[in-house]
Structure 1
């Protein structure tokens, strides 16, 4: 089995490489951020891409979405410390086949790799517990879009999608215009959009900008 490892912590990547090699997995490439993860995966065409959620330049969730848009056959296993429900559902919506927490043992990671490589959906024990609790409760709660954004950034994006300029957003949130500009820059980087127009399209597709 061939794999690509995407994680922004070099020590963790090194440790994961050793673990995977012990399992007989050939790590053909590593990526320190989401943007490079997409490029490397498209070049190497591995059996599985192991993807962290929180990475610079492009989150693992957005990288998964972009990768599958360009290579629908890609098989992504999310391996992360992020355990909140929003990230889990966002990863699934982006197209990840598996979601396992970094605390998982070698055997669990190995089983998850085999399942994802075979095109099967698989979730770590803690993630599976969360999913069962969510569906058993019959919750009508929908995961918030863009879990890679902070609450403030999501609030700013909502107002951008509603058509408000930075000055009006600053006034609405009782913040300085400089703070809003910094938030906008961070939003663009995390969503990998080039300008305000692209951000508006992404936000409105996710249902933002309607209640302002």
Structure 2
């Protein structure tokens, strides 16, 4: 277990009572709280100016969502560990968290023991998702996301259009490129996603994994 006083924390939630309750619980248990925020803009400012070890963020906040805060903070080079703290358990939220390589994801109904387990894990370089989630599904998502990380921005753009059931001709017209260019990108995507042995029909795979692909940043 890490030394609580050595870990600085910023907490952000737009519900005052929930924020106060969480802050009180953390302080009572010896954690070093260096900032709190009630909207995404405040949270981002504090992360970039206070350099917390951990930022515990609600997803649904005014001005900037928790996901927006993470994305913008990482673009600025923040080394903070990010934990989402939300009521959302839907797959698209988990997928977005995975695609942003967020360190932890907790549900607001989780116990404080679960929060402590999560913080211990992320401080020690391990990913932690609430035990309420199906661990097999989380693992499967991780495998598929790793595949997507091999793609270039142009290939990812085309894959997202394929996932939306756009034809090669429609994609070419929308991107102002030739159909041949689209076909070449599709071929590259297939070769990067799978080996020759496990190669799959791209359209079927993309539509099946539509939420994952469209949530990927």
TM-score w.r.t. structure 2 length? 0.60
SS at match of 2:105: strand
1:97 correspondence with 2:103:
yes
1:77 correspondence with 2:83:
yes
1:133 correspondence with 2:134:
no
How much does 1:40 deviate? 0.6
How much does 1:118 deviate? 2.4
Aligned counterparts of 2:97 and 2:104: Cα–Cα separation in 1: 9
> Greater CA radius of gyration, 1 or 2?
2
How has the CA–CA distance of structure 1 residues 43 and 137 changed in structure 2, closer, same or farther, with 3 Å as cutoff? closer
SS at match of 1:103: coil
| Aligned Cα root-mean-square deviation (Å) | 2.9
1:48 correspondence with 2:51:
no
Gap runs ≥5 in structure 2: 1-6, 146-163, 165-173, 176-212
Aligned counterparts of 2:138 and 2:101: Cα–Cα separation in 1: 19
How has the CA–CA distance of structure 1 residues 73 and 138 changed in structure 2, closer, same or farther, with 3 Å as cutoff? closer
Q: What residue number does 1:19 align with?
A: 25
SS at match of 1:125: coil
1:117 correspondence with 2:123:
yes
Aligned counterparts of 1:74 and 1:41: Cα–Cα separation in 2: 7
What per-residue deviation string (whole Å, max 9, x for no partner) do you get for residues 94-146 of structure 1? 2310001011111110111122122221111113x1x41365699979xxxxx
Task: Give the one of 7, 26, 48 matched to 2:13.
Answer: 7
TM-score w.r.t. structure 1 length? 0.61
Between 81-90 and 67-76, the greater mean CA deviation after superposition: 67-76
Count residues in correspondence.
Answer: 146
What per-residue deviation string (whole Å, max 9, x for no partner) do you get for residues 145-197 of structure 1? xxxxxxxxxx9xxxxxx69xxxxxxxxxxxxxxxxxxxxxxxxxxxxxxxxxx
How has the CA–CA distance of structure 1 residues 70 and 133 changed in structure 2, closer, same or farther, with 3 Å as cutoff? same
SS at match of 2:126: coil
What per-residue deviation string (whole Å, max 9, x for no partner) do you get for residues 31-68 of structure 1? 11112111111111111000111111111111111111
Gap runs ≥5 in structure 1: 142-154, 156-161, 164-205
Between 3-12 and 22-31, the greater mean CA deviation after superposition: 22-31
